[in-house]
Amino acid sequence: MVEKTIEITNPSGLHARPAALFVQTAGKFTSNIWIKVGDKKVNAKSIMGLISLAVSRGTEITIIADGEDEELAVNEILDLVTSGFGE
């Protein structure tokens, strides 16, 4: 299991378009991937779950992956978040 925490820095947080990119990226991997914010933990491959977290700019999220490609999955998601989702 791999776990990394990162701050969301793009201006609009995880609204519809960044959330869709997040889910698309997570969906490429066979590992189970979750996003944790505070006490809430949702499946990173679920757009509704991700949007339900209402993640805004400055929020710290923890990306958790468990499976054969867990390291690659977390690193690619971290790259996506670091890039600001292209915004």
Helices (H), the chain: 16-27, 47-52, 70-82
Distance CA 54, CA 76 (A): 22
Catalytic residue among 15, 49, 72, 78: 15
For this structure, is 75 an active site residue?
no
Distance CA 64, CA 5 (A): 9
Residues labelled as active-site residues: 15
